Structure 1
Amino acid sequence: MDKINKMFGITLGDPCGIGTEITLKSLKSVPKYVNRCILFGSLALLEHYNEMYGYGFKFNKIENTKDFKEGYVNVHDPMNISLDDFEVGKVSANGGKCAFLSVKAAIDFALRKDISSVVTAPLNKEALHLAGYNYAGHTEIFGEFTHGKSYAMLLWSDKLKVIHVTTHMSLRDACDNAKKQRIMDVVHLADETLKKQGYVSPKIAVAGLNPHAGENGIFGREEIEEIQPAVEQCKKEGINVCGPIPPDTVFLKMYNGEYDIVVAMYHDQGHIPLKLLNFDSGVNITVGLDVVRTSVDHGTAFDIAGKNIAREDSMLKAIEIGMKL
């Protein structure tokens, strides 16, 4: 059982996308992972790509870790979806259902301590909703079925690291949810996560919400009433944090080494700079929960699914970071 506990899970995401392809490429690229992971998703699709691209893997279908076999790619298939039930590259309810059930199964394995972390391939939010699962994405699914006082989305790359106060909501709602306590919670999560990665005293920058960080109230009062008080309280608690810093310069300052991570107020504020610099190798981490979850930082890429051209860089980085955490 000790060996099993050192293992990780990979959810294959929406079968209509590139998740299965990049997972098989990752296992081919780093063969030692075969004996350290359990895949969650469509066995039929795995076998299809394995034969099509000549990978030579042998698969073992499992219900639990007692069925695990070394030397095989071990797969838990919660839906037994066949190739006739969906079309690669097309949004479908079956694709969304398969993706959700795979994530839920991986969470159950992790909560039982059968695996130590979960790496997720991309799912499609439209397909998820068509299947009747009204979640905004992976972060919210993990938030629903795991445990933690607070959690946040953290994007990790060698060049830039960003953690988000708000994520999958309208920009109008994001402004309303950038509150002092939430900002403090996210600063704490940033500090704790970087310390787990070896940073002794992480330098944390908190971005402003408004242009020029509000310009002393001229362009908005969120910095004065919510963000600055949160930063000051965290400083009193011994965290190495500063802000609010104008969002149009804070990422450049981090890129130049002044900070180790930026606390972004909303989804695109953090995603745009990171994807500009590290689209292929960025990693999405859900922090603050009792299940470690890392993910590729890209979508299902339906337009190239099934063409064997999707790159596995981000998946390999997600596995690496997940194992460290």
Structure 2
Amino acid sequence: MSSSTSTTPPEVRRPMALTMGDACGIGPETLVRAFARGEAEGCVVYGDAAWLARTARAMSFSPDSSRPVIVALDDLAEWEAAPRGAMPVLPVVQLPEDLVIGQVDARAGAAAFACIDAAARDALAGRVAAVVTAPIHKAALHAAGVDFPGHTEILQHIADGVPVRMMLANDQLKTVLVTVHMALRQAIDAVTTEAVLHTLRIAHQAARAWGVERPRIAVAGLNPHAGESGLFGDEEARVIAPAIAQARSEGIEASGPYPPDTVFMRARHAPPEHPGAFDMVVAMYHDQGLIPVKYLGVEQGVNVTLGLPFVRTSPDHGTAFDIAGRDLADPSSLIAAIRMARQLSARHAVEGELQPQPE
């Protein structure tokens, strides 16, 4: 199967896939809440119908929302026949009943991976319009023998290793990362001219696919004060600036490198008082790019994987084992991820608009 070709015509109505995430975390609760609030219409959950039904029974509901009926599908094609307001579940896994909520369990990690794998492969085949992933636990994945640090790397592997980048976004700020899940010492070495340039290409093409005709992309420096003319490091001049120059020669409106401690404030879009100077910021490593977005509000943050031949989003939080099973989980970030996936998939052509341009 080709990772870049869909087999379903664009006019065919398709659901969005929601993966259950780690069953011992808050993913199942947020999914139930999203359906109860009417925010997951047109979605199918890839998971365990019995586990989700058990989760729903343990939760309380206010008068303006009701406990969704869990409907197990025999086949994905049955999703439209589910009653309005129900939660259609494609039962791709069957979880053991003795799982303990809030604890790392290899069986939950294996099931979470199976759900991601099934949803991604259906997306590659054109059977679903987008994939929204609930949180997974890296320790549970590792215990299950899954040798990937997170969703981004799993999805990249399933899509035959296409170059991808992680973006974290909310209404005010979008950041795209050059490096993702690796030690900071390793991340510094991974910041190469080619890596920065490819990130700029992917970010540019993704923004254009969303309707931004000429995306303004700011590039953060690696060192304090963007190196202060070489006093605090030379990566800005030696590595990052050449990538920006090459991107600009290709028609990409990239600029920088800017001091990392101020560029995110300049890019923050909060009109009318503070219109953003940039459409997105390319950051060099994980925490540099994610802290500013999360500081503005985890509940509205959405993780987007750029470069895949299908749309993938996820909430901006983890499994929250400390509150799992206590009916305290806030579904806001999941709902934001569902909404963004709808918007992006509406613009996503069959050929895969989010794929990077050839070098």
Please tell me the TM-score bracket, short chain as reference: over 0.9
Q: Distance in 2 between matches of 1:48 and 1:222?
A: 53
Amino acid at match of 1:157: N
Q: Give the Å deviation of 1:65.
A: 1.9
Paired position in structure 1 for 2:291: 272
Secondary structure at the aligned position of 1:118 is classed as strand
Paired position in structure 2 for 1:64: 75
The answer to whether structure 1 residue 307 and structure 2 residue 353 are counterparts is no
Q: Distance in 2 between matches of 1:152 and 1:180?
A: 15
Deviations 1:43-66 (A, max 9, x none): 222111222236442333234323
Find the partner of 1:217 among 211, 214, 230.
230
Find the partner of 1:252 among 239, 248, 265.
265
Find the partner of 1:7 among 5, 8, 15.
15
Per the alignment, do residues 90 and 220 of structure 1 end up closer, same or farther by CA in structure 2, a change over 3 Å counting? same
Q: Distance in 2 between matches of 1:62 and 1:4?
A: 19
TM-score for the superposition, normalised by structure 1? 0.94
Find the partner of 1:187 among 197, 200, 210.
200
Mapping of residues 121-270 of structure 1, within 5 Å: 121-147=134-160, 149-255=162-268, 256=274, 257-270=276-289
User: What is the total number of aligned residue pairs between the two structures?
Assistant: 322
Deviations 1:110-152 (A, max 9, x none): 1221101100010000010001001110000000001464210
Q: Distance in 2 between matches of 1:251 and 1:173?
A: 24
Q: Distance in 1 between matches of 2:284 and 2:48?
A: 37
Paired position in structure 2 for 1:76: 90
Verify the 8 A CA contact 1:148 1:288 in the aligned structure 2: no
Q: Distance in 2 between matches of 1:276 and 1:57?
A: 33
Q: Give the Å deviation of 1:97.
A: 0.8
| Identity between Structure 1 and Structure 2 (%) | 40
The answer to whether structure 1 residue 27 and structure 2 residue 35 are counterparts is yes
RMSD over aligned Cα, in angstroms? Answer: 1.7
Per the alignment, do residues 40 and 3 of structure 1 end up closer, same or farther by CA in structure 2, a change over 3 Å counting? farther
Q: Distance in 2 between matches of 1:115 and 1:3?
A: 12
Moved more, 266-275 or 51-60: 51-60
Moved more, 128-137 or 60-69: 60-69
Deviations 1:171-209 (A, max 9, x none): 011111111111111111211222222222111100000
Q: Distance in 2 between matches of 1:73 and 1:310?
A: 18
Paired position in structure 1 for 2:54: 48
Q: Distance in 1 between matches of 2:161 and 2:104?
A: 32
Q: Distance in 2 between matches of 1:12 and 1:220?
A: 44
The answer for unaligned runs of 5 or more in structure 2 is: 1-7, 61-65, 269-273, 345-359
Secondary structure at the aligned position of 1:263 is classed as strand
Verify the 8 A CA contact 2:76 2:90 in the aligned structure 1: no
Verify the 8 A CA contact 1:205 1:244 in the aligned structure 2: yes
Secondary structure at the aligned position of 1:40 is classed as strand
Amino acid at match of 1:177: A
Q: Distance in 2 between matches of 1:148 and 1:93?
A: 25
Verify the 8 A CA contact 1:148 1:289 in the aligned structure 2: no
Per the alignment, do residues 310 and 111 of structure 1 end up closer, same or farther by CA in structure 2, a change over 3 Å counting? same
Amino acid at match of 1:42: D
The answer for unaligned runs of 5 or more in structure 1 is: none
Q: Distance in 2 between matches of 1:282 and 1:56?
A: 26
Amino acid at match of 2:317: H
Amino acid at match of 1:39: V
